[in-house]
Structure 1
Amino acid sequence: MRRDQDKTLATRAPASPFRRISDRLKSSWRRSRRAALLALLIGATSISNVGCSVFDRIKDGPHDTTASYHDDYAMRIEYPEVQQCASAPAEAATQATAPLALEDPSKIPTLELTLEEAIQLSVQQSPVLRSIGGTVITNPDGTTTTFDPALAHANPLTGVEAALSDFDAQFTQELFWSNADQPQNLASNNVVTQFTPNTLQETYGTYNAELSKQTAQGASFALRHSVNYNYSNRPTRAFRSDFIGFLEAEYRQPLMQGAGTTFNRIAGPNSQIGQYNGVLIARVNEDVALADFEAAVISLVADVEQAYWELSAAYRVLEANVKGRDSALQTFQYQQVRLEAGAGRSDEEAQAQSQYYQFRAQVEAALASTDGLYTREQRLRYLIGLPASDGRLLKPTTTPTDVRVVFDWESALGQALSRRVEVRRQRFNLKKREMELTAARLNRRPRLDFLGQYRFRGLGDHLIGGSDKEAFDSLYGNITDGNYQEWQAGLEMQFPVGLRAASAAVAHANLNLRRERAVLAETELRISHDLADAGRQIMLTHQLLETNYNRYLADQRQVDVLRRRYRDGTDNINFLLQAQRQVVTSEADFYRALAAYNLAIRDFHRQKGSLLAYNQVQLTEGQWAAGAYQDAHELGRHLTPRLNPSDVEMPAPLTSGAFDPSAPQMQSFMNAPATDAMLESSPQPVESPQPATAAEDAPSA
């Protein structure tokens, strides 16, 4: 501690304990030890009282002021340099123009698009399956792509090829050289010194090679070859250098634990207790990945259809608000003329002007709000892979359905419980748990293996060649002569007493199986409820469609009557302004109900597992590599059908066969007209207005 710091501490402390300690150190060792203990206690007490203030007054040392590599470089934020390939989404991101906000849609070129074309574009533009929420930015790892099934298959840890690799032949070899130069501790009069040199000098060489193969029955075959070379200065050796080696074959067959194709196909060879990564488990994992991919495709198709019908409704809502704004402008201008002529009132003119601006605000909101036309159009653009804006305006041309659709409940429920991808996925999980329980039960047995070995040994002064007259001139010649043969056969048993871990694995697998069964039953129950809700929504939305249309017709007649009465001067302007607001609201509600009815039909198809077939979307495997076709052709030449397949014992199949979620289904619905009881005493609806299909039919803002 520096002198200035010592002075500071001395002025703050009335009596320095350190000075007393230094005096006591000069007396004796016992007194100094007591003083040291006392100083330690006093120092600890003072530090605990003042906290960190003493350490704060200590200035930084040289090591504290030296700049570190991590201060200005290692923790610096940098931009990574990666290789990015040109793709349609990347080009669409860079080609986007300024967004549309309050432009007149009637003056913008249109791009007519059917629902079928929109769905085709959405599934063909990018390998990434998009969603309305756009979670690819916030959760890129959770984004589904077309690569996910292939990634599950090619996973080096849990994929099918990884499970099959456990049965591949393994080849290992090693070659080492070493040297020994050791002085010996020998007495000069010892008899051993005549046969042992004073300095032992030897050179060693070791070569080992092994080729092993694991079979599906659990057996393992191994072929080993070992050669040891030794050069020594020992005088007792017949050859200064020699080669000793053997050629060995080994066969090991598990008889209890680890035996049989059932266990090895589920758990894999040499698996640990509770670990199951066999070929069948890997196959189920791949099927689960395919189910997840199919669910993502269904979600994409549902989002595209939702964005399409919402955009179609946004056009009609904008058209209704534009008509209301024009009607309010006419009323306002008419009231201005009356006021200038002295026949009107200023408060009525202000009311008409206020309603005009109210409808104008609604038109602006219908254009650029979160539920406006341009927002809906951009949402559909994202789903089909187009730029955010390119100077054109997407216009739906598919006519929405307005006829009443009645589904056959029994047929729809049966299809939902068999075609829903969630049910199929859960059934695969259940199948996986069943196989795990089977493997766990087979694993609760002692390890009893039959082991057989046969070996040819040899010794030679040379490795290869030499004179045939001498017995040990060549190692390989000595081995091939077969004069020295060894064999071994027997049983090998090993197991923990009580099999506690294996019993726990069985209990765990049994609980997992029961859980998956309960989840499957609950999934089917939930699907039946969701299907019932979807069927109820179809009936409700169609009834609301008819009700809102009849309401729209009534509001139109009311506006016509009140306009005539207002122009005749027999009625107040308030009734006319209110009627104008009501007719715009009822027309917008009608078109929203029309979009909701088409979305309800979509939801019913989604709940019963027929959305892909309903939208003509098919899932197929991509093209194989050219080498895969060649391998399949060459392998097929060696496979011939059996004359009597019933004589062959085969494990139980994993699945019941191929399943096509996009296959056409039997029509289980019919178009039915509305009944008198549904319409009651309301006027019969006339033909509903059709959506605009050309640029000149677009509403003018």
Structure 2
Amino acid sequence: MTRKNLARTTKRRNRGSGRLKQVLVAAMIASTTGCGLLDKVKPGPHDNTPSYHDNYGMQIEYPEVCECNTPVSDAAKQTTEPMSLEDPSQMPSLELTLEEAVQLAVQQSPVLRSIGGTIVSAPATTQTTYSPGLVASSPNQGTEAALAAFDAQYTQQLFWNNNDQPLNRQAFAIPGSPFVVPAFAQSRGATFTNELSKQTMTGATFALRHVVNYLNTQDPSAAQQQFPSAFTGWVEAEWRQPLLQGSGTLYNQIVGQNFGLAVGQYNGVLIARINEDVALADFESGVVGLVSDVEEAYWGLAQAYRVLDATVKGREAAQQTFQYQEVRLDVGAGRSDEEAQARSQFYQFQAQVESALGGDTGLYALEQRLRYLIGLPATDGRLIKPTTQPSDVRVVFDWQSALGQAVERRVEVRRQRFNVKRRELELTAARLNYRPRLDLLAQYRWRGLGDQLIGDSDGAQFDNLYGSITSGNFQEGQAGIEMSFPVGFRLAGVAIASAKLNIKRERAILAETELRISHDLSDAARRIALTYQLLETNFNRYQADLKQVEVLRRRYVDGNDNINFLLQAQRQVVTSETAFYTSLFDYNLAIRDFHQEKGSLLAYNQVQLAEGPWAAKAYSDAQRIGRFLEPRENPGSIDMTRPITSGPFDPAQAQATTYIESQPATFDMINDPVSPESPSDAMDSESEDSMNEGLEDTKEQVEEAGKDLAGLLSSGLRN
């Protein structure tokens, strides 16, 4: 290099170093002054160009989905104008028994509705009839997904390659020339690999592998090759059998797809089976809640009819008293304060009737709640009329039998027992993981070489690859053991400790669940005894208040008592009648609560849970596969994992734990109830006749007083 070139190079380097220094200084200034310098940079043309996507990133849009009409969606769209204060006696009725209501509720929709449900605000937590099937078909939780870990796997690869590589040696020199032709290597090739492998339930892995390589080379060092292009390949079989960690049917059925990947994570067949059983328990719990809500809504509606009937009777009695006072006041025989008191009580009962009709706990609101649970439109011009008579006889439960059923048949107990079983299996797998990995490995291979891949053999050796492989002249074998383990087994030890704590936690929750259930069952039994006693007490109170009203009415008509006593008695009889019917329906709900607490509510309401029909193809596949399955001649000699469950369980099976004690016929009026369609016609006939007689007597007294007054006036005028 000349001096001139050297100086030019040095100057260029110094110039580059100066530019680097300027960049570093600018970066330091920008880091100390923030974005101040950047803010002075004028925006370029791209900054002023509006984008097509401006104002669209977070814009609220309406989804477009495929919709189909269902009975539920049709019921939502066919709802008529809601009712508020219409006369229920003028509306057509829809007579419905409790059994029919429960049947409609469990058949109308795949969604398990609830009174206080959050289907609109939290639809992801809603139980449906699809929930167990979703768990069974889940690629992460279902049994089929867990069995997929043991399916045979087929893999295949095919690659082409072209290599052109210079070599670090001379090939030859051109005579009379200083140039030397360098050496190089050119080749074209392909690689084909396919493999069929399968993991067994005992942990063993079998593989059958086939590899074919093709190479066409022009490497000068390969001048001694027999063929310019050749096929090489082999067929091999491999067997790997774990002897310690990873071995055994039980371990692989617990661990599943995470075998050898993550300690403490289990998704095997047995865990997946428990997941499905837990999903079924959750579904059963949802059905129990639905049936409970339907019964509560049904008896609540029946109670609303009774309360409305009692309130209407009180309003009619108050209206007659008010009219009676108006007549007395018109003829000068009454007092204005008594007339005002009677008027006030009439409007008080009128407000109660309106609240009993359209209030939050009124007839129409409770009727709409029952409509929602059984899948009917909110309003359709008809009024549901409960026709099932409430039970008014004493029901006595055998306590020991009921308690035993509660701690065995409650769905919450069975669900928690499945959780305990899961933790027990996880502890077993964690203990089996606390071992080194020791595998027995065996391979056997048939090799071959051929000028062609497949061809007619002309007697020459290595004419084609497959002919060479099938000849069996080149065979290889390998056998040995492979061992690996983490020193100290720290992660495996932590997994065992965690599994022990988990199983202790689940067992503690199971014990606490049984204790809580026993307390709830005790409360339900006490509530049955209390509500029945209140039923008798409130009935006697109601009868006494009826007699009191009758006596005070006659005393008031005769002028022997103040109107305050009569008005108070009229209010009291409505209150006592309402309390009587409230205790009656509370008694029926207490019976429901006892059945729910001891796990027999589905049997009590005759609800059966069954799996839906499968596709026709599934039945044909089961019949075809069943032909290849033979029963075991000696099942006891076969080593099998312990079963997860002890057998099928029917939550709707009837349990004989009650007997009915005959009750004296003091509640005959309950068995022949007043029709809820016409509460205004249900007034006590004796009370109405008595009040009418009082009004007639008052009119006669007023007419006689008028005649006497007219006679006195006429005699005075004559004098």
- TM-score normalised to the size of structure 1? 0.88
Q: CA RMSD in A?
A: 2.6
Larger radius of gyration: 2
Are the aligned partners of 2:82 and 2:378 in contact in 1 as well (CA < 8 Å)?
yes
Give the one of 394, 416, 419 matched to 1:429.
Answer: 419
Q: Does 1:248 align with 2:236?
A: yes
Question: CA–CA distance in 2 between the matches of 1:610 and 1:173?
Answer: 57
Q: Does 1:176 align with 2:176?
A: no
Which amino acid in structure 1 is aligned with residue 112 of structure 2? L
Q: Does 1:211 align with 2:211?
A: no
* DSSP 3-state at the match of 1:450: strand
* DSSP 3-state at the match of 2:478: strand
The residue correspondences of 1:614-653 to structure 2 (distance < 5 A) are 614-653=604-643
Are the aligned partners of 2:312 and 2:679 in contact in 1 as well (CA < 8 Å)?
no
Give the one of 57, 64, 68 matched to 1:74.
Answer: 57
Name the counterpart of 2:255: 267
Which amino acid in structure 1 is aligned with residue 88 of structure 2? P
> Cα offset for 1:67?
3.5
The residue correspondences of 1:464-483 to structure 2 (distance < 5 A) are 464-483=454-473
> Cα offset for 1:639?
2.0
Question: CA–CA distance in 2 between the matches of 1:333 and 1:54?
Answer: 93
Name the counterpart of 2:305: 315
Are the aligned partners of 2:393 and 2:660 in contact in 1 as well (CA < 8 Å)?
no
Q: Does 1:96 align with 2:84?
A: no
Q: 1:54 to 1:649 in 2, by over 3 A?
A: closer
Name the counterpart of 1:398: 388
Name the counterpart of 1:222: 207
Name the counterpart of 1:85: 68
Superposed CA deviations along residues 427-481 of structure 1, whole A, max 9, x for unmatched, are 0000111011001100110000000000011111000114342111111111111
Q: Does 1:202 align with 2:187?
A: yes
Name the counterpart of 1:463: 453
Q: 1:177 to 1:531 in 2, by over 3 A?
A: same
Are the aligned partners of 1:378 and 1:388 in contact in 2 as well (CA < 8 Å)?
yes
* DSSP 3-state at the match of 1:128: coil
Which amino acid in structure 2 is aligned with residue 529 of structure 1? H
> Cα offset for 1:625?
1.1
Does 646-655 or 564-573 show the bigger shift? 646-655
> Cα offset for 1:631?
1.4
* DSSP 3-state at the match of 1:412: helix
Question: CA–CA distance in 2 between the matches of 1:69 and 1:158?
Answer: 44
The residue correspondences of 1:579-658 to structure 2 (distance < 5 A) are 579-658=569-648
Does 176-185 or 159-168 show the bigger shift? 176-185
Are the aligned partners of 1:110 and 1:695 in contact in 2 as well (CA < 8 Å)?
no
Name the counterpart of 2:668: 687
> Cα offset for 1:74?
3.0
> Cα offset for 1:54?
12
Identity %: 63
Question: CA–CA distance in 1 between the matches of 2:36 and 2:560?
Answer: 91
* DSSP 3-state at the match of 1:356: helix
Gaps of 5+ in 1: 1-28, 675-683
> Cα offset for 1:138?
1.0
Name the counterpart of 1:110: 93
Superposed CA deviations along residues 625-650 of structure 1, whole A, max 9, x for unmatched, are 11111111112222222333322222
Which amino acid in structure 1 is aligned with residue 289 of structure 2? S
Are the aligned partners of 1:148 and 1:293 in contact in 2 as well (CA < 8 Å)?
yes
Question: CA–CA distance in 1 between the matches of 2:620 and 2:172?
Answer: 79
Superposed CA deviations along residues 171-202 of structure 1, whole A, max 9, x for unmatched, are 000111111233445425589xxxx9844221
Question: CA–CA distance in 1 between the matches of 2:31 and 2:147?
Answer: 72
Are the aligned partners of 1:106 and 1:700 in contact in 2 as well (CA < 8 Å)?
no
Are the aligned partners of 2:216 and 2:229 in contact in 1 as well (CA < 8 Å)?
yes
The residue correspondences of 1:108-507 to structure 2 (distance < 5 A) are 108-187=91-170, 198-234=183-219, 235-268=223-256, 270-271=259-260, 272-507=262-497
Q: Does 1:516 align with 2:506?
A: yes
> Cα offset for 1:404?
1.3
Question: CA–CA distance in 1 between the matches of 2:487 and 2:39?
Answer: 63
Question: CA–CA distance in 1 between the matches of 2:32 and 2:152?
Answer: 71
> Cα offset for 1:104?
0.2
Which amino acid in structure 2 is aligned with residue 688 of structure 1? M
Question: CA–CA distance in 2 between the matches of 1:57 and 1:336?
Answer: 92
> Cα offset for 1:516?
0.7
Question: CA–CA distance in 1 between the matches of 2:531 and 2:331?
Answer: 50
Are the aligned partners of 1:534 and 1:603 in contact in 2 as well (CA < 8 Å)?
yes
Q: 1:173 to 1:580 in 2, by over 3 A?
A: same
> Cα offset for 1:43?
8.5
Which amino acid in structure 2 is aligned with residue 579 of structure 1? A
Q: 1:212 to 1:40 in 2, by over 3 A?
A: closer
Q: 1:509 to 1:368 in 2, by over 3 A?
A: same
* DSSP 3-state at the match of 1:71: coil
> Cα offset for 1:672?
4.9
Are the aligned partners of 1:396 and 1:693 in contact in 2 as well (CA < 8 Å)?
no
Which amino acid in structure 1 is aligned with residue 66 of structure 2? Q
Question: CA–CA distance in 1 between the matches of 2:44 and 2:157?
Answer: 55
Name the counterpart of 2:567: 577
Question: CA–CA distance in 2 between the matches of 1:56 and 1:561?
Answer: 97
Are the aligned partners of 1:211 and 1:222 in contact in 2 as well (CA < 8 Å)?
yes
Are the aligned partners of 1:284 and 1:428 in contact in 2 as well (CA < 8 Å)?
yes
Does 434-443 or 460-469 show the bigger shift? 460-469
Question: CA–CA distance in 2 between the matches of 1:258 and 1:43?
Answer: 60
Q: 1:388 to 1:55 in 2, by over 3 A?
A: farther
Are the aligned partners of 1:207 and 1:227 in contact in 2 as well (CA < 8 Å)?
yes
Are the aligned partners of 1:405 and 1:672 in contact in 2 as well (CA < 8 Å)?
no
Superposed CA deviations along residues 110-168 of structure 1, whole A, max 9, x for unmatched, are 00000000000000000000000131001100000000000010000121000000000
Q: 1:559 to 1:75 in 2, by over 3 A?
A: same
Question: CA–CA distance in 1 between the matches of 2:427 and 2:676?
Answer: 65
Are the aligned partners of 2:146 and 2:256 in contact in 1 as well (CA < 8 Å)?
yes
Q: Does 1:566 align with 2:526?
A: no
Which amino acid in structure 1 is aligned with residue 84 of structure 2? A
* DSSP 3-state at the match of 1:74: coil
* DSSP 3-state at the match of 2:54: helix
Are the aligned partners of 2:452 and 2:465 in contact in 1 as well (CA < 8 Å)?
yes
Q: 1:521 to 1:186 in 2, by over 3 A?
A: same
Are the aligned partners of 1:105 and 1:700 in contact in 2 as well (CA < 8 Å)?
no
* DSSP 3-state at the match of 2:256: coil
Question: CA–CA distance in 1 between the matches of 2:29 and 2:200?
Answer: 72
Which amino acid in structure 1 is aligned with residue 234 of structure 2? F
Q: 1:627 to 1:561 in 2, by over 3 A?
A: same
* DSSP 3-state at the match of 1:225: strand
The residue correspondences of 1:4-19 to structure 2 (distance < 5 A) are none
Question: CA–CA distance in 2 between the matches of 1:292 and 1:619?
Answer: 13
Which amino acid in structure 1 is aligned with residue 623 of structure 2? H
Question: CA–CA distance in 2 between the matches of 1:666 and 1:700?
Answer: 43
> Cα offset for 1:341?
0.3
Question: CA–CA distance in 1 between the matches of 2:418 and 2:228?
Answer: 68
| Number of matched pairs | 649
